Amino acid sequence: MEREMRIRNYSERTIRSYICSVGQVSRYFNLPPGRISTEQFKAYLHHLITRENCSVSRINQNISAWKILQQDLLKRKWESIRIRRPRKEKKLPVVLSEIEARALIGSPRSYKHRLLLILAYATGMRRSELLHIRLKDIDRQRSVIKITGKGNKQRELPVPGRLFESLEKYYRRWRPAVYLFEGPVPGKAYSASSMQKIVKDCALKAGIKKNISPHVLRHSFATHMLERGVNLKRLQLLLGHNSLKTTAIYLHLADLDKAQLPDLTQAKPEDDGDERK
């Protein structure tokens, strides 16, 4: 199963998650995965929902892993054993106000921690993307950082000049070997749990009562960009979303009254010299 997913260029995180999912259902029935029936698998999903209160995303992850096992490894026709996915939860993500976001990113005493949060908020990167920025991904001349996102898809994110100056100051002080943010071991990326702890601690220090995680900075970036007048398609490209529908959820969060709306009764600057006959 691992080989099949590597051939299909799944990310390391997805490979680990799917293998873990199949291993858990195998241990639940004490049977090899290939001997577990569709009805048994459905019973396992029902157990996850009713007994373990698992989220919709966790259930979908299990179904996706099951599909790869059945269709690609066991060569069974998926149409005959198709399992319908649960309806998606329509929960709006937690978003900080701009005042709260500035309080959060300004609260760390450590320059490294502060820069980590600033970069997360200023670019809207996912946590895994941020922690796996390599030094060679940073293009100072073009003021962009190359990001490797979900499915190993790459995109470039523009970085404000002041932030690049901060990155240079950070590099001169910390001298990372491979990744921009590294832990105690040179050449090893900073851990996700460490960033989670930084965000939680800083939220407490800043007096923020909301349930905060690193992903909240990404949600806040997207919402505040819309409020500043960035169009939805541009935001989709910045966030690395495959579908514009995914990005559109932020329309429900943004206060679009804050956006600078053009006065269509006024001529555009390049039209000021035109004369009507």
Q: Which residues are catalytic?
A: 126, 150, 215, 218, 241, 250
Which two three-digit tokens encode residue 144? 């962009």
In angstroms, what CA-CA distances link 40 with 30, 158, 273? 12, 49, 74
End-to-end CA distance of the chain: 72
- 118 vs 116: CA distance, rounded Å: 6
Which two three-digit tokens encode residue 85? 């996915």
- 181 vs 188: CA distance, rounded Å: 9
Of the candidates 93, 70, 98, the one whose C-alpha atom is nearest the C-alpha of residue 83 is 70
- 253 vs 245: CA distance, rounded Å: 14
Q: Other C-beta atoms within 10 Å of 83: how many? A: 16
- 115 vs 147: CA distance, rounded Å: 17
Contacts of 134 (CB under 8 A, 6+ apart): 178, 179, 180
Q: What does the angle CA 224 – CA 146 – CA 141 come to, to the nearest 5 degrees? A: 95
